[in-house]
């Protein structure tokens, strides 16, 4: 798995992680996100165009990044977020996904990740949504 | 030869000039080029040598792998006396010229005659020999120290290599024990439920795995069926799997606890511990003998497959469900299906459908469905075994990336 990092500007600055290869390990992706976060990134878009397969370890990394970016936004009510997650209506404003393959989309849906992460079909559209 | 040359030889400084003149007639001056060998170890010695200039080397085991330099002699020093003084007369080492040398040579007979005439020479020679002997002892002891140090280092290396082997063996033994412990947590014999044929199989990708399944006899009429997949592999996943499956079994076997309640309680337990971001996808359902209904709750796990006796797919649409261990109040997918006579319900983990061949192509749910359709006359256990075999064959030389787990229930 390789990660190429770039920057884009929506209404807020967006850090794009273009991932290439199967995501079978959580550590590298989490480490890259942490490094970006420490460098000031607060909104991350994961471009999954070239990800043929995502294991549960990959899902674990996605959740870790979701939590990392959520921790910084204390102004967002934690209770409201929890209630939103419980109702399946909360979508993270800080972590979004773009262009998963049909199979990866199936994996994300089976694990209920589409309930808290926005999934876009187009990278530009995803950037503009932040 | 010129008497003046002898004056500068330390061995002769104590002799009167007349003696030097007397001796001069016996000596013969010879030149040797670098590389020449004056004599070889083991030869019979018939000459004594005094170096006038240049440099010669005294060497043991000359020309062999064990060749060893004993010392060097330069201007004014002598060599070759030992074989002339010893009883057998044999050279104890070889002498090779290192830098072009001029030497004085004296025959054995002249050497003997010289010592008889000038006994003082014998004392002088003895003084030099004593000094060389001491040097030789020092060298031998130094060599010994060096060899001991090398031996001690080799011994230490051997000990640490042995310690590493023991550590590795201990680790492997512990992993084997962990695997046995993990296997012992799976049902030893599958419980029976009248009217249903049940099979199950788990194959870990590593020595221990993060997948699990369980079959819980809740009553003579109701059987709990569990399948789960912890995020990750290896020992951390195995420990988390042990925690989850124990919690689930304990909660499920309490009377009057619905599958949804069981998963919510397990989720609360998991969140109360810092599991370093680990979570688990679980499907837990209860199979009822009378109604043939399988009422299940899906927490982020793959949907089960349901086929009727003719191989038609009856799997309901996937609802929405979070895994356990992520959120305090997860959304859970609550569903129920009815197994028709001859129908097959198959629960599996992503190690089955996401097994990859050497070209990274996925096994996919279609191949699972095809395997179920092709196994209409086999038992539920045979179906599980055949599917494991099919995945293994499909994978070919590619490594098993994830644990594989299957639970099959056929309605009779």
Judge: A87–B277 Cβ closer than 8 Å, yes or no.
no
Name the residue among A57, A87, A112 with its Cβ closest to that of B232. Answer: A57
- Check: CATH 3.60.40.10 for B187-411? yes
pLDDT at B11 over 90: no
The Cα A71–Cα A86 span in angstroms is 18
Tell me whether the CATH fold assigned to B3-116 matches the one assigned to B187-411. Answer: no
The Cα B345–Cα A69 span in angstroms is 40
Chain A residues whose C-beta sits inside 8 Å of any chain B C-beta: 22, 24, 26, 52-53, 55-57, 59-60, 63-64, 67, 82-83, 85-88, 103, 107, 109-112, 114-115
Q: How far is B278 from chain A (nearest CA, A)?
A: 7
Q: Which of A29-43, B228-242, B309-323 has the weakest average pLDDT?
A: B228-242
More confident residue, A75 or B145: B145
The Cα B165–Cα B160 span in angstroms is 9
What's the whole-number mean pLDDT along residues B245-270?
A: 91
What's the whole-number mean pLDDT along residues B331-351?
A: 95
Taking only the tens place, the pLDDT of each residue in B50-71 is 999 999 999 999 999 889 898 9
- Pick from A43-47, B105-109, B240-244 the range whose average pLDDT is largest: A43-47
Name the residue among A64, A67, A82 with its Cβ closest to that of B328. Answer: A82
Contacts of A112 in chain B (CB under 8 A): 300, 320-323, 330-331, 333
Contacts of B210 in chain A (CB under 8 A): 56
Contacts of B330 in chain A (CB under 8 A): 85-86, 112
What pTM did the predictor assign? 0.70
pLDDT at B376 over 70: yes
- Check: CATH 3.40.50.2300 for B3-116? no
Taking only the tens place, the pLDDT of each residue in B176-232 is 888 787 777 788 788 889 999 999 999 988 777 789 999 999 999 999 999 999 987
The list of chain A residues with pLDDT below 70 reads: 71-77
Query: Who contacts B386 (Cβ-Cβ below 8 Å, separation ≥6)?
Result: B371, B375, B378
How many Cα neighbours within 13 Å face the side chain of B186? 24
In order of A29, B128, B146, the CA distances from B11 in angstroms are 83, 9, 34
What's the whole-number mean pLDDT along residues B126-149?
A: 86
Beta-carbon contacts below 8 Å between A and B: 84
Taking only the tens place, the pLDDT of each residue in B350-362 is 988 888 888 878 8
Domain boundaries, chain B: 3-116, 123-182, 187-411
The residue among B79, B107, B84, B78 whose CA lies nearest residue B95 is B79
Judge: A59–B321 Cβ closer than 8 Å, yes or no.
no
Chain A residue closest in CA terms to B303: A110
Interface pTM (ipTM) of the complex?
0.85
Output the pLDDT for position B275. Answer: 67
């Amino acid at each position: 798995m390789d990660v190429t990092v770039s920057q884009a500007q929506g209404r807020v600055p967006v850090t794009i992680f273009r991932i290439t290869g199967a995501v079978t390990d959580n550590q590298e992706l989490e480490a890259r996100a942490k490094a970006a976060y420490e460098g000031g990134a607060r909104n991350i878009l994961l471009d999954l165009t070239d990800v043929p397969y995502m294991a549960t370890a990959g899902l674990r990394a996605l959740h870790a990044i979701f939590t990392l970016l959520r921790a910084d936004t204390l102004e967002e009510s934690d209770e409201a977020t929890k209630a939103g997650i419980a109702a399946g209506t909360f979508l993270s404003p800080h972590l979004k996904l773009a262009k998963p393959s049909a199979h990866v989309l199936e994996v994300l849906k089976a694990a209920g990740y589409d309930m808290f992460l926005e999934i876009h079909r187009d990278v530009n559209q995803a950037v503009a949504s932040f | 030869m010129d008497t003046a040359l002898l004056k500068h030889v330390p061995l002769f400084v104590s002799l009167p000039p007349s003696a030097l003149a007397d001796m001069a007639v016996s000596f013969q001056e010879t030149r040797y080029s670098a590389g020449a060998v004056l004599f070889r170890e083991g030869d019979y010695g018939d000459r004594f040598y005094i170096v006038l200039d240049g440099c010669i080397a005294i060497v043991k085991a000359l020309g062999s792998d064990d060749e060893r330099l004993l010392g060097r002699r330069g201007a004014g020093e002598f060599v070759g006396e030992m074989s002339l003084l010893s009883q057998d007369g044999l050279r104890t080492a070889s002498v090779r010229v290192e830098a072009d040398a001029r030497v004085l040579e004296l025959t054995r007979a002249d050497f003997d005659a010289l010592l008889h005439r000038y006994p003082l020479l014998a004392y002088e020679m003895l003084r030099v020999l004593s000094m060389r002997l001491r040097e030789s002892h020092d060298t031998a002891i130094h060599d010994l120290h060096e060899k001991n140090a090398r031996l001690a280092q080799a011994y230490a290396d051997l000990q640490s290599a042995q310690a590493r082997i023991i550590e590795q063996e201990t680790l492997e033994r512990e992993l084997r024990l962990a695997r046995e412990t993990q296997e012992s947590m799976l049902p030893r014999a599958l419980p029976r439920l009248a009217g249903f044929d049940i099979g199950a199989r788990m194959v870990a990708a590593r020595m221990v795995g993060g997948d699990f399944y369980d079959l819980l006899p809740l009553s003579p009429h109701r059987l709990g069926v569990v399948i789960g997949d912890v995020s990750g592999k290896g020992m951390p996943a195995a420990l988390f799997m042990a925690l989850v499956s124990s919690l689930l079994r304990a909660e499920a076997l309490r009377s009057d606890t619905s599958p949804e309640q069981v998963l919510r309680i397990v989720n609360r337990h998991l969140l109360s511990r810092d599991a370093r971001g680990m979570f688990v996808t679980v499907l837990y359902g209860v199979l009822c003998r009378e109604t043939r209904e399988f009422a299940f709750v899906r927490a982020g796990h793959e949907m089960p497959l349901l086929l009727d006796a003719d191989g038609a797919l009856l799997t309901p649409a996937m609802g929405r469900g979070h895994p356990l261990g992520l959120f305090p109040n997860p959304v859970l997918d609550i569903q129920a299906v009815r197994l028709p006579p001859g129908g097959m319900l198959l629960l599996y983990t992503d190690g089955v459908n996401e097994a990859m061949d050497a070209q990274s192509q996925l096994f996919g749910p279609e191949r699972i469905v095809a395997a179920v359709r092709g196994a209409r006359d086999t038992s539920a256990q045979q179906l599980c075994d055949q599917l494991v075999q099919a995945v293994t064959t499909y994978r070919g030389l590619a490594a098993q990336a994830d644990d594989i787990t299957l639970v099959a229930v056929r309605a009779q």
